[in-house]
Amino acid sequence: MYETNFHSVSSPQEAEAILATATDAKILAGGQTLIPTMKQRLAAPSDVIDLSRAEGLRGVTITKRKVMGVIKADGGETVTIGAMTTHAEVAANAELAEVFPAMCRLAGNIGDPAVRHRGTIGGSVANNDPAADYPAALLALAATIHTNKREIAASDYFQGMFETALQEGEIITAVSFQAPAAGGYGKFPNPASRYAMAGVFVARSKDGAVRVAVTGAGENGVFRHAGLEAALTADYSANAVDGVEVSAEGLMSDLHGTAAYRANLIKVMAKRALA
């Protein structure tokens, strides 16, 4: 029989102090992964640190673009989302819906209502499940992951299935990105879990460059697709997707679908993201 100590902290600094002294502490951001894992006796941390009451980790902030001190209303806003902001809060945020509604729609289609009201963006990003939705969005948006110690570019942060650049004692505090000129997310969900069997996030910057990130399909987790990016930078339309070859190499095969099936789903979901 093991014993786990529970801590409800009021700040990231308090959590950091406990992490530094505990034998095997785990952060509780929303509990959608940690709690089931503990219930199945697959994890037995010495300490669980609950961030739900920590100050400064919740909410969505929109910063308007300024040129020589003058606020511009032509896009390019910086969006910052606190790590403890729930999926439901992201989905319902009116300011975010005006600037970049695709992120609201993504959050509103995660799991079920119970998951959306407990799960957090920070918890999802820290766990980096290979079928999670947020990693595709952050990678496509060239986002920044903010921690209690540093800032990490999304391209450096996601390092494989359940693998991230987080170091010992490092806690995600927020994520931020520049709202693109256009973008969207297409997801083919598993009917039971609502995780993506294939999800494609497309983002076009103000200069016309397109980034495409795929979740749910890769053997090594979220990844960018160079072929789709090149085609959509040249022609930002569903027709451009038809001419792209999506290889099944490196894609997952399981009881839900083969690698070839997922390769086809990537193209279909790319078109849905554009729509």
Summarize the confidence of residues 164-179 as an average pLDDT. Answer: 96
- List beta partners, residue 251: 218
> Apex CA 213: angle with CA 252 and CA 199, to 5°?
55
Question: Per-residue pLDDT for 68 more than 70?
Answer: no
CATH class in words for 60-274: alpha beta
Nearest CA to 103 out of 72, 134, 146 is that of: 134
Summarize the confidence of residues 94-113 as an average pLDDT. Answer: 96
Q: Where are the domains of the chain?
A: 5-50, 60-274
* pLDDT band with cut points at 50, 70 and 90 for residue 192: confident
Dist CA 15 CA 25 (whole Å)? 10
pLDDT at 70: 58
Q: Tens digits of per-residue pLDDT, 122-135?
A: 999 999 999 999 99
pLDDT at 234: 97
Question: Per-residue pLDDT for 197 more than 70?
Answer: yes
Summarize the confidence of residues 170-184 as an average pLDDT. Answer: 97
Helix boundaries (H) for the chain: 12-21, 34-39, 87-92, 94-99, 101-108, 113-118, 121-127, 134-140, 154-157, 226-234, 238-242, 259-274
* Burial category of 271 from C-beta neighbours within 10 Å (exposed 0-12, middle 13-18, buried 19 and up): middle
Strands 5-8 and 210-215: unpaired
**CATH architecture of the domain with range 5-50:** 2-Layer Sandwich (3.30)
Summarize the confidence of residues 138-167 as an average pLDDT. Answer: 97
pLDDT at 193: 86
Summarize the confidence of residues 214-236 as an average pLDDT. Answer: 97
Q: Tens digits of per-residue pLDDT, 180-191?
A: 999 999 999 998
- Say yes or no: do domains 5-50 and 60-274 share a fold: no
- At a CB cut-off of 8 Å and minimum separation 6, what does 245 contact? 227
Summarize the confidence of residues 213-239 as an average pLDDT. Answer: 97
Dist CA 165 CA 160 (whole Å)? 10
Q: Tens digits of per-residue pLDDT, 28-46?
A: 999 888 988 998 988 899 9
Contact 53, 91 (CB under 8 A): no
Terminal C-alpha separation, the chain: 53
